[in-house]
Structure 1
């Protein structure tokens, strides 16, 4: 059965004790307002910067690992998308709450998350 996916945006992982300050820095650096200081939940601390001019979502996340930037691919079927990416050489690192953490053949980590707004532009890719 076909599924759809596209680049959703970027997560700025910050190893910090002050998520407000980190979000404020990236908000000002990128010219994107902090739109949700409480975007996370009990197990993850996020602040959402909203969509950039290109329509991408940017979030700042408090993490315990070294600071880095990772991307999210959104899909209407995350298991099918993870399987498609595995065929391309990626590997599943683990399932976290409601998304797959993946690793590219070149070592970069990224996540496959549920599609939030399937009808927004740009339209998602359709995969068999």
Structure 2
């Protein structure tokens, strides 16, 4: 029987690859797979070798207010992580659809891509 497919990388469209490499590298501890940073495409890998790759692709497509795909980042101390991410250049998104007692916060990276910080403290 052949091996099943597996997710190798999640790709984010960005307008400035270098800026996105800097943000995501500091945000989640990822590093470029290759020494040279291409201005159109970079694969980021976990520095500790654990986790899925994230690729950054140069794109002129406008940011979607309600993206069909986004990253969920789990945090045991979400408030602390949100503050840290904002210091790195992320911004809070005025999200109109928070449910009561939401366990997540919607942020945007330096490129405007939405992502969530999920409270996993419980």
TM-score of the superposition, structure 1-length normalised?
0.39
More strand by share: 1
Q: Higher relative CO (CA 8 A, sep ≥ 6), structure 1 or 2?
A: 1
TM-score of the superposition, structure 2-length normalised?
0.41
